[in-house]
Each structure stands twice: as C-alpha cells, then as structure tokens.
Amino acid sequence: MSDTTPPGMQPHPGFSEEERDAVYRAIFTRRDVRSEFLPDPVPDEVLARVLTAAHHAPSVGFMQPWDFLVIRSPAVKARVQALYRQANEEAAQLFEGEKQATYRNLKLEGIVEAPVNLCITCDRRRHGPVVVGRTHIETMDIFSSVCAVQNLWLAARAEGLGVGWVSIFHQDALRDTLGIPRDILPIAYLCMGYVSQFHARPELEKAGWLSRLPLEELLHFDGWGGAAGEADGALLGALGKVGVNPEDDRRSTPGRR
C-alpha cells in the first residue's frame, strides 16, 4: 500500500471500521466533568499526548495562537476557585425563583479536585497583524484556540480522562491570578483528571436544564430556512439511524479501560 505513496503524503486516507468507531466513541462519550474526579495523578506521558493533540489542532493561517498553562499547585487552584465562587454568586443572581434554586444546585467546576488544571490562551498578535484566512474575520484566532480545546478534550476522553471547562470568571481576574499578560486572551480554563465514571448524557440535560436539540430542526438546505427537498430525504432518514450514546444512564461508560 505504502509503495505507491508519493513522498510527503500519508499512506492511506481511510480508517479501518474499528478506528473510525473509536473516533466516534470518543466524540459521543466525551462529557463535561465536574464531580467525578479521582485524585490519581495524570502520568506525564499521558499529559504530553493530550497537549500534543491540542497543539495539532487546525488554526487560521497555521497561526497556532495558543499557549498552555499547566496548573498543578493546590495554592494556585485555590485562588482560581475563589475567583469562580465570586463570579458564580453573581451568575446565580441572574436567574430568578426556581431557576435560581436549580442553578445553585448545579456543580459547575472541579478546580480543586482535578489533579491538573489547564488554561488555554490565544495570542491575538502572534505572527503579526496580517494572517492568512483572518484578513476579514478577526475572531478566527479565537476559534482556532477553541479547536485546540476540543482536540484536547477528545484526546483526554480516549485516555479515560475527564475534562471540565469552567468559564464562570471575570477574565481580567483570571489573567491577573495566572500572571497572563494583558494582550493574551484566556480562552478556556479546564479541569482534568481520571474519573470514577462518565455520565451517559450531559449533566445539564440530566438536571432538566436543557436537552439536546433535534438535529433535523437545525438543518437548512441551500440557504437559511431552506426546507428539505426530495434529494435530502435519505439524509434525514439516515440521521435517525446514527447510533450515538446509550440514553440509559445506568450504562455510563467506565473512566478507565
């Protein structure tokens, strides 16, 4: 197979069925984790793999605008958690009545329990003001850093590691606490570690906050609001057959394989 591969090209574009299924399994079983972290340390080889996966994300103009802060110090984590608590109190006030009570019952971070915290940033000036692909939409650098977050999140899931994204912070306060320069944007604060188990469905869905929207209702054909034509019927039929994730919570996937 590789005999005919031209230099600089990959030997074969396809995945075996098993490899393909493993990718989808990582996607469909990835969860935002807040409560199930175990204290077990994350081996450096594993951390190196998920960070390298993040660094191999796509980026506008190959800008690679990210940096990765690896936070393991309990003192730093405690300071970050204090920022979260203050912001979360402000957040709770934004909801009224029963919704506020439900909000207050949600656990929305695992900063101290997770053995590793990561902050992924975006250097908006990396490689100068003109970047291929970012000439008209300036926020493309931010989107690129988010791609790194997603790569890391999926790689972590494949490693049996849970990741929780915490975004309830004043951005400047987070910057100051972590010594991040003013011109660098903190994109994601992530809590990561091995977990006792992964929830089968998003926790916000389990808590009755919101549920997954039907994908069919989010599809538009040949323009915004475009209805499905005859040619689109097979796609709509196929959507219903995609095996995703057991809806049954009892079948939550074990953290370690």
Q: Which residues contact 110 (CB under 8 A, 6 or more apart)?
A: 33, 34, 35, 37, 164, 191, 193
For residue 254, list its beta bridge partners. 197
| Residue 28 within binding range of ligand FNR, rule CB under 6 A | no
Q: Which residues contact 249 (CB under 8 A, 6 or more apart)?
A: 199, 200, 201, 206
SS (H, E, C) 210-239: CCCCCHHHHCCCCCCCCCCCHHHHHHHHHH
Out of 35, 86, 100, 167, point to the residue binding ligand FNR (CB under 6 A).
167
- Residue 70 gets which letter from DSSP? E
Query: Looking up tokens 């996607």, which residue turns up?
Result: 27
Residue number of the CB atom closest to ligand FNR: 202
Nearest residue to 112 via CA among 76, 83, 87: 76
Task: Supply the DSSP string of 168-197, one letter for each residue.
Answer: -S-HHHHHHHHT--TTEEEEEEEEEEEBSB
Out of 26, 27, 112, 168, point to the residue binding ligand FNR (CB under 6 A).
168
Q: Select 137 or 207, whichever has its Cβ closest to ligand FNR.
A: 207
| Residue 177 within binding range of ligand FNR, rule CB under 6 A | no
| Residue 34 within binding range of ligand FNR, rule CB under 6 A | yes
- Residue 131 gets which letter from DSSP? -
- Output the smallest distance, CB 205 to ligand FNR, in A: 7
Using the rule CB under 6 A, give the single segment among 19-27, 60-68, 159-167, 237-245 that binds ligand FNR.
Answer: 159-167
Using the rule CB under 6 A, give the single segment among 7-15, 133-141, 161-169, 247-255 that binds ligand FNR.
Answer: 161-169
| Residue 108 within binding range of ligand FNR, rule CB under 6 A | yes
Q: Please give the distance of CA 157 from its chain centroid, rounded to a whole number.
A: 10
- Output the smallest distance, CB 179 to ligand FNR, in A: 22
Q: Select 124 or 199, whichever has its Cβ closest to ligand FNR.
A: 199
Q: Select 26 or 168, whichever has its Cβ closest to ligand FNR.
A: 168
Number of residues near ligand FNR (by CB under 6 A) = 12
Out of 140, 166, 191, 192, point to the residue binding ligand FNR (CB under 6 A).
166
In the complex, which residues of this chain contact ligand FNR (CB under 6 A)?
Answer: 31-32, 34, 108-109, 164-168, 202, 204
